[in-house]
Structure 1
Amino acid sequence: MTYAQNLTGKTALVQGGSRGIGAAIVKRLAAEGAAVAFTYVSSEAKAKELQDSITAAGGKALAIHADSADEKAIRAAVTSTVQAFGGLDILVNNAGVLAVGPLEDFSMEDFDRTLNINVRSVFIATQAAAQHMKEGGRVINIGSTNADRMPFAGGGVYAMSKSALVGLTKGLARDLGPRGITINNVQPGPVDTDMNPASGDFADSLIPLMAVGRYGHVEEVASFVSYLAGPEAGYITGAGLTIDGGFGA
């Protein structure tokens, strides 16, 4: 499939872009003409494969090893992107972790890691990226519909972390708006990935909660992100935009 080259001349950085929703976002932004850097932690083979597939098709991509729990690594990834491609126009904060467990057994290690990656890394990356962005810059956070609805026990900390992104996005919209930079929070529902496949006992428990009766596809989320990254989305900022098949309806 070919796409309009709405992002030609733009540079993007995707935190957590080697697989799942992140990889789909990287592919879509590159297909629309952007030079795309993306971070990964453990999936080196997938990251290199993704990078090579984009460059083989004539695009520009750069895989950067960076742990989103590490402030220095996040800031270095922003610097590497700017050095490689000459600037930074689009930041997608997709890195995230999911720790689920009973209240009485939930460890503080999992609590802290959830907040560090799902919230703290978003602030750090946005703070660093904004130093390089000009008017027309875009920041897109990948939250979750669980910020609004958590239908099973054990997910309170995850839901809290995604709810925090709602407030952070609204607040930072006030900081970035005067500079012509938008920031929005995309909230996917259950999406078919290797970490959350659309088949199995867990999926069977969630599918009846969706109005459309199915899991989402990573490409559907990526298309939403590409619109927000593009020139027609300049009047959307501070928004929480849900793409969940009616999970929260």
Structure 2
Amino acid sequence: MRKVCVITGGGSGMGLATAKIIGKDNYIIIVGRTIKKLEKALEELRAEGIEAEAFACDISDEASVNKLAAHAKEIGTISSVIHAAGMSPHMGEAVTIMEANALGTININEVFYKVMEKGSCIIDVSSMSAYLTPKFIMPKGSYKYSRTNKEIFMKKMMARVNLFPKKVRSGVAYGISKNFVTWYAKTDAAKFGQKGIRVLSISPGSFETPMGEVEKDEVENLIKFCAIKRLGHVEEIANLMAFCASDKAGYLTGVDILCDGGCVASGCNPLKMKQS
């Protein structure tokens, strides 16, 4: 059977760039909320001779993710899942961001665990915000509810977010949700390892993507703290993701890889940064 790679958020940015690399030896399923928004990406992939299709899925809805996983399993052996879909602070309300980033990751990992086989890999995409958001904000003690009761988990996460002024809640929700993603991938490793599946997360910094453009003001503030004084190119993060998903990284699991041009290493504190 042919190898299949599922890429959520595959319609643009780092998801699409990764599809162009992994698609050289995998059948690609790019995933987004609507098929229409994926059409241009599909044309680009097919123009490069990559076998691909688009699939509509709401990752915050478990039933929708179940349909995606079942479809992927019908096509072939799922070699990897690159879970790059997510929302930035300027893309929605706090609760919507938490549902997309945190709940979406729970759904992807839980559902695909059931259908993936030995030798496969899931990569959950986080963000350097997982490191930059002050630790006292993170409700880490409540992350455990993600594995027992999603409703309680969401209530706990939003209770923490709602302690903050309304104008900053989307940003707080983003930081918490991405910190959760790194925790979730790490603590999923033992379970996934029992089936011979690897799971890890990658935390990108500021890259040349549509999402990066939406957060342009914040991105410009952060670049001055980076050791490499520029935005990252999508091909740079895509090559990292493709390598981590491949057999060449077969001993890599249960870890978060930070790829941010040295921003976090600078010790910059977002709370002290000048707000635009």
Do the aligned residues in 2 keep the contact of 1:100 with 1:158 (CA within 8 Å)? Answer: no
Within-5 A mapping of 1:66-77: 66-77=57-68
Q: What is the alpha-carbon distance in structure 1 between the residues aligned to residue 133 and residue 229 of structure 2? A: 18
Do the aligned residues in 2 keep the contact of 1:198 with 1:215 (CA within 8 Å)? Answer: no
Alignment match, 1:99: 89
Whether 1:205 and 2:221 are equivalent positions in the alignment is yes
Do the aligned residues in 2 keep the contact of 1:137 with 1:182 (CA within 8 Å)? Answer: yes
Whether 1:112 and 2:99 are equivalent positions in the alignment is no
The amino acid across from 2:241 in the alignment is V
Do the aligned residues in 2 keep the contact of 1:126 with 1:139 (CA within 8 Å)? Answer: yes
Within-5 A mapping of 1:238-249: 238-249=254-265
Q: Deviation digits for residues 196-246 of structure 1, max 9, x if unmatched?
A: 239964433121011111111111111000001111111111101000000
Q: What is the alpha-carbon distance in structure 2 between the residues aligned to residue 154 and residue 52 of structure 1? A: 33
Whether 1:231 and 2:247 are equivalent positions in the alignment is yes
Distance 1:14 1:129, change over 3 A: same
Do the aligned residues in 1 keep the contact of 2:90 with 2:214 (CA within 8 Å)? Answer: no
What is the DSSP-based 3-state SS (H/G/I as helix, E as strand, rest coil) of the residue aligned with 2:210?
Answer: coil
Q: How many Å apart are 1:74 and its aligned residue?
A: 1.5
Distance 1:52 1:198, change over 3 A: closer
Q: What is the alpha-carbon distance in structure 2 between the residues aligned to residue 25 and residue 153 of structure 1? A: 31
The amino acid across from 1:75 in the alignment is N
The amino acid across from 2:63 in the alignment is K
What is the DSSP-based 3-state SS (H/G/I as helix, E as strand, rest coil) of the residue aligned with 1:241?
Answer: strand
Counterpart among 162, 167, 184 of residue 178 in structure 2: 162
Aligned residues: 232
The amino acid across from 1:49 in the alignment is K
Alignment match, 1:27: 20
Do the aligned residues in 1 keep the contact of 2:80 with 2:121 (CA within 8 Å)? Answer: yes
Q: What is the alpha-carbon distance in structure 1 between the residues aligned to residue 201 and residue 217 of structure 2? A: 29
Q: What is the alpha-carbon distance in structure 1 between the residues aligned to residue 47 and residue 9 of structure 2? A: 21
Q: What is the alpha-carbon distance in structure 2 between the residues aligned to residue 39 and residue 216 of structure 1? A: 23
Two-structure CA RMSD over aligned residues (Å): 2.5
The amino acid across from 1:165 in the alignment is V
Counterpart among 145, 169, 175 of residue 128 in structure 2: 145
Q: What is the alpha-carbon distance in structure 2 between the residues aligned to residue 173 and residue 127 of structure 1? A: 12
Do the aligned residues in 2 keep the contact of 1:91 with 1:126 (CA within 8 Å)? Answer: no
Q: Deviation digits for residues 145-181 of structure 1, max 9, x if unmatched?
A: 1101139996222111011012111111010112211
Counterpart among 68, 71, 80 of residue 90 in structure 1: 80
What is the DSSP-based 3-state SS (H/G/I as helix, E as strand, rest coil) of the residue aligned with 1:209?
Answer: coil
Do the aligned residues in 2 keep the contact of 1:99 with 1:155 (CA within 8 Å)? Answer: yes
Alignment match, 1:105: none
Structure 1 portions without partners, runs of 5+: 1-7, 102-108
What is the DSSP-based 3-state SS (H/G/I as helix, E as strand, rest coil) of the residue aligned with 1:69?
Answer: coil
Q: Report which of the two has the higher share of helix.
A: 2
Alignment match, 1:185: 201
Q: What is the alpha-carbon distance in structure 1 between the residues aligned to residue 241 and residue 187 of structure 2? A: 20
Q: How many Å apart are 1:23 and its aligned residue?
A: 1.2
Distance 1:115 1:200, change over 3 A: closer
Q: What is the alpha-carbon distance in structure 2 between the residues aligned to residue 240 and residue 23 of structure 1? A: 21
Counterpart among 8, 11, 15 of residue 4 in structure 2: 11
The amino acid across from 2:14 in the alignment is I
Alignment match, 1:79: 70
Counterpart among 93, 105, 112 of residue 122 in structure 1: 105
The amino acid across from 2:46 in the alignment is T
Q: How many Å apart are 1:54 and its aligned residue?
A: 2.5
Q: What is the alpha-carbon distance in structure 1 between the residues aligned to residue 47 and residue 13 of structure 2? A: 21
Q: Which moved more, 1:53-62 or 1:228-237?
A: 53-62
